[in-house]
Chain A
């Protein structure tokens, strides 16, 4: 009984990290059909954001609030990855809608650029750059739109960008002078230290639940609930669903499709950033951290059925439980006297990486029989 619970908990914990990472992709790839290979790097940016936020909270002035840095890191990571995602959409992906192969190549290139970026640019300057971008894109939305009519529009736009650049330089300079560790470029992996309350485990009914895992499960549940509320209940969610199902008709009905694209991509990318916070709580953060998640993310989305949020949820938990089942060699403890050849096979796969190999192989086999995943889109899709 206890074994079952422990196994289930581990499975859910593994699955929820996967789900958190795949949620953004379920929107970007599942709904918009964009194959974004830079999704893993957006997760990586979220993880680095957590790292920087954590260092900022170590400053003497903010030291008393150190325990709640995660709460600040989550929205910040969302914004950072979201803005980078929007930039990516506006500059690269927008030009490649409808050509998946080119999108795949281009976004792979972007992922390499982003990896090299965090290696060669000091975090302090990167933070300044991001702030400048956020403010540069954000200011025109906040200022009264009347300012942008007429001849002065260009001047005001230029002014707002100059102001944004100034803000960015200030932040970069300030951070670099205060925190040594992010003043220089560093290609090594970094570690995010969890706040006091997140260390250790929670004792319940003879079992220990590690707190970071619990936090990630809670984060995932909240993210899934939030995303499903947003997509199914909010006005923008309805616009997104309409545009993804019939772009030209949605346009004819009065939906600003380009704005919808930007928003959808921004939210998908932002969720990758939040996943980055979760990832940083589990292990060390490096430029390549995204690569270890991207394959899993695509697997989850495809296995769940492209365009189906609930399929994504179920698929990630299924993969999580399976990984734990195989990776921890659970079968051996359930059935201790299994025949020797079988036992050695089970043992062979009882490591994290071999379990992943096994799970992916199983998914490939599964997709041979159900190419559209667990929950294919059904219903009379109309001859129209």
Chain B
């Protein structure tokens, strides 16, 4: 498997407070990697540094063989990083259809070249097709989460960043989302970096990294994820 993302010695600050300390992490193509850790240890900060919303002060990001350096988020999206943020960030006054179309901005040529929504997203999340003309902001939390994932997928990313996709969502939709993510990986062979608290979902991943105080303190295949590690790093 080829290495899709390599992070070396990443340090990110919020103003003067040091959030990420020397983070090293890799994601390979076709692999689901899960980032675990309690609240406030820097998981979301790491994802934001990857998509470019935050500027790391030191460290190296290599994506798909090329350095990301100081590229703004939109060039990273076009390079093949799909981002599903915490809180979904659906554009509220745009319809579901328009929100989906915005996902295609990351394709070469952007929206001007791509007009049709690839129907595979309706296979993954049938509810979206019913709600196409509705305002994105009027959907429930779970529906918005499905929309956010579908939107990211329409840009055909090579790497998908998922930030707590099951947070505050009813259990049956959590299962749909889990199944969809697994299916995407097996069908398209993209890499997924997942931040998750839900133990069942964490167990689906191939490997895990555990964070504490802004640094990686443990890592390994999830099959070896012991109860002691779970108790230490997951808030259940």
Residues of A within 8 A of B (CB): 235, 238-239, 241-242, 245-246, 248-257, 377, 379-384
Contact = CB atoms under 8 A, between A and B. Distances in A.
Interface in B29-80: 51-53, 72-74, 77-78
A377 B135 CA distance: 13
B180 to A, nearest CB: 19
Contacts, number: 94
Contact of B53 (A238, A252, A254): A252
B53 to A, nearest CB: 6
A379 B92 contact: yes
B72 A235 contact: no
Interface stretch (B11-19, B106-114, B198-206, B215-223): B106-114
B85 interface: yes
A238 B98 CA distance: 8
B164 interface: no
Given A249-B85, A253-B151, A254-B155, A382 B73 contact: no
Contacts of B136: 382
Contacts of A251: 52-53, 72-74, 77
Contacts of A241: 91, 93-94, 98
B74 A242 contact: no
18 contacts: A235-B112, A239-B105, A241-B98, A246-B89, A246-B91, A246-B92, A248-B89, A252-B74, A252-B77, A253-B102, A253-B106, A254-B105, A254-B107, A377-B93, A379-B135, A380-B138, A384-B88, A384-B92
A11 B72 CA distance: 49
Interface residues on B, range: 35 or more
A245 B94 contact: yes
Contacts of B197: none
Contacts of A235: 110-112
Centre residue among B91, B103, B136, B138 by max chain A CB count within 10 A: B91
A51 B135 CA distance: 46
Contacts of B83: 252-253
The 4 closest A-B pairs by CB, nearest first: A254-B106, A254-B77, A254-B105, A249-B89
B4 interface: no
B106 A382 contact: no
B111 A238 contact: yes
B144 A253 contact: no
B92 A257 contact: no
A137 B28 CA distance: 43
Contact of B87 (A252, A253, A381, A384): A384
B195 interface: no
A380 B90 CA distance: 12
Interface string B190-232: 0000000000000000000000000000000000000000000
B102 A252 contact: no
Nearest to B111: A235
Contacts of B85: 249, 252
B30 to A, nearest CB: 23
Contact of A238 (B74, B102, B107, B151): B102
Contact of A250 (B102, B107, B135): B102
Interface in B149-183: 151, 155
A380 B93 contact: no
B111 A239 contact: yes
A380 B91 contact: no
